[in-house]
Structure 1
Amino acid sequence: MSRVLILTASMGEGHNTAARNIREAIIAETNGTAEVLVADPYTRTNPVINKLMQTGYATAINSYPRAWKVVFELLSKPGVVEGMGPMLNELTTAVKSLIEEFQPDVIASTYPIFSYLISKIRKKNPDLKTPLFTIITDSTMINSAWYRHPCEGSIVADEQTASVLQHDGVPSERIHVLGFPVSLAFESLAPCEPPENGHWKALFFPGGTSVHAISVLEALGELPNLDLTVITGRRQQVMRKLQAAGVPRRGKLIGWTDQMPHLMATHHVFIGKAGGATVQEAITAEIPFLVSHVVPGQEEGNISLIEQCGIGALAVGTPSRLRDVVSGMQANDGAVWKAWRCNLAKMKKPSASRSIAKFLLAHV
């Protein structure tokens, strides 16, 4: 029986999403015979500090994005993460314990710091030969913490990201362009049909403050032919404030959901922040992406991918700016939207999770 350990972290949902999807694919590829453990080593550390880190990250990206960019750039500099050694001892111990307890045949990581921690563990435990592969969840602008420390290989979503790693000295034979691990549900979903009678459906993930989200929804509500499905996720306070404000005017408001593949496949455009997993899911669903909130740092690379590949647009600034971008997308029988959809069809890899699963199993 093959044993696969997948390390993740709850610092943004994208890392966990990637880990779960890889697990799903490995189980499918082995007819359930493989034993797969998805683990967040942070949960084995001080719970108070772990919760503070998660809350701090969420607060920074939503309310203080410029401050987060400073942190992101700092962590990308060689020596910074490495200089945090004493602060990471508890996390290192957690990773080591997971490996010793589960005895995996192969390890996959969807979070950047674990390659560094495992390199530390290997120095003290040279008999640890279990191969480690890192699944990089962002595109084109990559924090070097993802690949500064040796592992058996880096799995990336696209050639643009592979080029970044090659430019920074990662050997090409250790870079594997396999796509982003999206849910297997995307394999059987057809993209949304073009709008009928000029009626459009948009999927909106509000980023930033609730005040800004309300202003955006009021502006989008001025478009007479647009229905909105608003997803607040686990941000319950934002949902309560949107409900109190009576937005959206047309459409529905949803909290957390596990139906993202279906929702993406039944809407014409996605509006939100450019998280790595979200952008890749949108590509797979062939739903054009409008970026309404920017998290500086890792998400700037995802925005670059959207613009370079012509699959959406950056629409930050005032709510009226976003409204006008949506209106322009709809104009001339959706000419811009159709061009974006055409480009998306060339990029999607709905079976990427299977490709990654097969790759990992081949190294057992």
Structure 2
Amino acid sequence: MPHRDDLVPESALSSSSAAPPKGSGPRRIAIISASVGAGHDGAAAGLADRLTAHGFLVDRHDFLDLLPARAGRLLCDTYHHLLAWAPAGYQRLYAATEHASRPGAVWRALFRSAEQPTLRALQPDTCAVISTYPGAGQVLGALRRRGLLTVPAFTYLTDFSVHALWVAPGIDAHLAVHAIPAAQAHAQGAAAVTVAGPVTDPRFTPATGGERSAARARFGLPEHSPLALLVAGSWGVGPVRRAAAEIRETGVAVPVVVCGRNHALAEQLRQDGIEHAFGWVEDMPGLMHACDVLVQNAGGLTSLEAFATGLPVASYRCIPGHGRANAQALQEAGLATWIRTPEELGPVLTELLHGPRGIAQRAAGIALHRSAPGPVPAIAARTGHRPLQPPASSQAVRRTGRRRLALTAATAAATLSLGVAAPLVYAYSEAPARFTAVAHYLDGDRR
């Protein structure tokens, strides 16, 4: 029988003691995502951009390609068909496994089959591995526990609600976008939970008046009407046609629907009289600049992008499983309103467009993107790498410090007023040593 070392590639055996000395050159990080929808890949792309900007070399891998034969495609297709054709069945499956202490036997066998391909995919100089998909995190955690992967492994939690599969023993740190998922991960036993903040494309910023008008003209949208941007993920799943019709019937806003790669849905909507129905949209920042409110059904990356642009967000006719769980978590965070009945739709949209609820959510969404330094400092701290920082004068540093203090105070006030403090305080009071904030970087110094 071959020794264990014969089964493990050199990349997995390169320990931190054998890693290049700090400052000797760029260090390599691998990110493992999954092309299941677009959210996991979107988070991976955002992480890769930030890590590259801070001097890391980044390799990206698709977890579906690391599974044997066509198991990855089969997994993705089964998930897609469940959402599209058997949503009640998916809801039961999600509920049955949401708080399981460990994956079932079938899942464990599937994850075990990806272990050696994962190790072989890593380059010899890899200094850390990050997962943005639950299955990949389970594989990395198992490899770390058995000593087959000797570099730090991170899970970046892309959802606001944390299913049990996201939490893997052996993972060195779980990075969350907000205190709500951080508290959920902590409650399920996740290691080193860190509130790192979201990562989105830097093009997602609040629109100026000129950008708004130009975007409306570019997409052929009404110049003056309130516009509700309805999204349903890259697959365009869920009762989208019903939601679009109900938004139109309120008379509060004109529906603008993005159907992702579901071109048949876009055609059906046009036949229904929904004038502004799009398939896959490359310029989502521009389309968000054109609109006034986002209505979503899954609570994934598009919601984070909307927060960055200053759009108020409503969850409506959510898909089962993670869609409903994310809607609940986003509402607890004060970032989005979960509209549960058609009767609430018109009044809530009116509040989001014209009332204090919309103002509060816009402020909370923008603050989410500015109140944490992002995942890079937490990752760099565990790899012993000093991130690249642009040069700054002492005066600029002082201005940055003042802005951070002001932002911290504003964020704390918004957080308390929206009821976010309780879960964060609870998580910290239960185990302050394990529930940690990301180390703040000022002028390139690590804490």
TM-score range, shorter chain: 0.7 to 0.9
Decide whether aligned partners of structure 1 residues 147 and 213 sit closer, same or farther in structure 2, where only a CA change above 3 A counts: closer
Cα distance, 1:210–1:68 mapped onto 2, change above 3 Å: closer
Q: What count of residue pairs does the alignment treat as equivalent?
A: 346
Q: Deviations over 1:76-99 (max 9, x none)?
A: 412434553333343223212212
The structure-2 alpha-carbon separation of the partners of 1:357 and 1:246, relative to structure 1 and needing over 3 Å to count, comes to same
Distance 1:211 1:355 in 2: 32
Query: 1:115-134 maps to which residues of 2 (within 5 A)?
Result: 115-122=137-144, 126=147, 128-134=149-155
- Counterpart of 1:22? 47
Indicate the structure (1 or 2) with the bigger Cα radius of gyration. Answer: 2
Q: SS in structure 1 opposite 2:108?
A: helix
Q: Secondary structure at the match of 1:184?
A: coil
CA distance in 2: counterparts of 1:317 and 1:300, whole angstroms: 13
Q: Match for 2:157 among 126, 136, 144?
A: 136
Residues 144 and 170 in structure 2, CA contact (< 8 A), matched pair in contact too? no
Tell me, what secondary structure is at the counterpart of 2:117? Answer: helix
Instruction: Tell me the equivalent position of 1:270.
Output: 294
| Residues 1:231 and 2:253 are matched in the alignment | no
More displaced 10-residue stretch of structure 1: 296-305 or 193-202? 193-202
- Answer yes or no: is the 8 Å Cα contact 2:64–2:71 preserved in 1: no
Aligned pairs (5 A) from 1:59-98: 59-76=81-98, 77-81=100-104, 84-98=107-121
| TM-score for both structures, normalised by structure 2 | 0.68
**Contact map agreement 1:61 1:68 (CA 8 A) in 2:** yes
Amino acid at match of 2:382: H
Structure 1 CA distance for aligned equivalents of residues 224 and 360 of structure 2: 17
Q: What residue number does 2:166 align with? A: 146
In 1, the alpha carbon distance for the partners of 2:106 and 2:73 equals 23
- Counterpart of 1:361? 380
Contact kept, 8 Å, 1:2 with 1:361, in 2: the verdict is: no
Greater shift, 320-329 or 301-310, is seen at: 320-329
What is the TM-score when the length of structure 1 is the normalising length?
0.82
Distance 1:351 1:62, change over 3 A: farther
RMSD between aligned residues = 3.1
2:226 is aligned with 1:200: yes
CA distance in 1, matches of 2:336, 2:296: 11
**Residue type at the aligned position of 1:25:** R
Shift of 1:271: 1.0
Are the counterparts in 2 of residues 192 and 266 from structure 1 also a CA contact under 8 Å?
no
**1:166–1:51 distance in 2 versus 1, CA, 3 Å:** closer
Matched, 1:164 2:180: no
Q: Distance in 2 between matches of 1:56 and 1:361?
A: 37
Q: Over residues 169-219 of structure 1, what are the superposed CA-to-partner deviations in whole Å (9 max), with x where a residue is unaligned?
A: 445xx1111112212223xx2246699997312211147988943333333
Q: CA deviation at 1:134?
A: 0.7
Q: Give matches, 1:1-364, under 5 Å.
A: 1-30=26-55, 34-46=56-68, 48-76=70-98, 77-81=100-104, 84-99=107-122, 101=123, 103-122=125-144, 126=147, 128-139=149-160, 141-170=161-190, 174-186=192-204, 189-191=205-207, 199-206=225-232, 212-224=239-251, 226-248=253-275, 252-318=276-342, 322-327=345-350, 329-330=352-353, 333-345=354-366, 347-349=367-369, 355-364=374-383
Structure 1 alignment gaps of length 5 or more: none
Q: Deviations over 1:283-333 (max 9, x none)?
A: 222211111222333333421233224443222444x65345434545xx4
- The residue type paired with residue 236 of structure 1 is H
Shifted more, 62-71 versus 18-27: the winner is 62-71
Identity %: 19
